[in-house]
Amino acid sequence: MTMPVVGYSFRRHLSKGSLTVPIRPILRYPHPGLKTVCAPVTVFDAALSQLADDLLLTMRAAPGVGITAAHIGVFQRLTVLELDKADRVRIYANPEIMWFTDETMAHMEGSVSMPGATDEVTRPKAIRFRYQDLDGHQHEEEASDFLAICIQHEVDQLDGIFWLQRLSRLKRDRLIRKWEKTKS
């Protein structure tokens, strides 16, 4: 069951047979935009809500559990997460990690910009972070386990750090070669 986001319109979800089409085109690796450091969101209006709506639908169509505005070529600090269909949709404007634990956790990661490519990345197991909601209100929360991993992954992308940069050079080169063979 899909959990709707209050106040959002899902009218633009397109489907062609069994193929779901993203609402917005996703930048594909190695697009230089994926290395762009995103600017802070400064205007909290209907256009930002529409962007969040488009991100959610694009992420679901990809499919994925997280997406940033940078993934669709909009270089603002906005990310959307939906860890699974039973979980709530989480929207973070200007997310910033304030603290992280020394304890780490390894998890398989990938990207909507590099479909089918995954590898194990080790990150802090718990974080404290702050963000703004779509109305511009400040929030501070703690996250652990998979949620903490996802937030760190998306904040990296907003900072222009594509997830492959978290791999050793050997693992990164091997994964890129494998991915390039599968996409051709």
Q: Are strands 66-68 and 19-21 parallel, antiparallel or unpaired?
A: unpaired
Secondary structure of 79-143 in HEC code, one letter for each residue = EEECCCCCCCCEEEEEEEEEEECCCEEEEEECCCCCCCCCEEEEEECEEEEEEECCCCCEEEEEE
Position 84 scores a pLDDT of 87
CATH entry, 14-183, from 3.10.450.240, 3.40.50.1220, 3.30.465.10, 3.90.45.10: 3.90.45.10
Burial class (CB in 10 A: 0-12, 13-18, 19+), 155: buried
Position 67 scores a pLDDT of 98
Q: What is the DSSP letter of 184?
A: -
Cβ atoms of 52 and 91 closer than 8 Å: yes
Position 183 scores a pLDDT of 75
Q: Tell me which residues are annotated as active site.
A: 154
pLDDT, one tens digit per residue, over 1-57 is 233 232 333 334 444 444 555 689 999 999 999 999 999 999 999 999 999 999 999
Whole-number percent of the chain with pLDDT over 70: 88
> CA separation (Å) from 97 to 155, 162, 172?
8, 17, 25
pLDDT, one tens digit per residue, over 102-155 is 999 999 999 999 999 999 999 999 999 999 999 999 999 999 999 999 999 999
Tokens of 24: 């917005």
- Global pTM reads 0.88
Phi, psi of 181 (to 5 degrees): -65, -40
CA dihedral 88→33→108→179, nearest 10 degrees, is 130
Calpha distance 65→124 (Å, rounded): 19
pLDDT at 96 over 50: yes
Q: What is the DSSP letter of 39?
A: B
Cβ atoms of 127 and 143 closer than 8 Å: yes
> Which contiguous run of DSSP H or E holds residue 68?
strand 66-68
Calpha distance 29→20 (Å, rounded): 20
As a whole number, the mean pLDDT across the chain is: 89
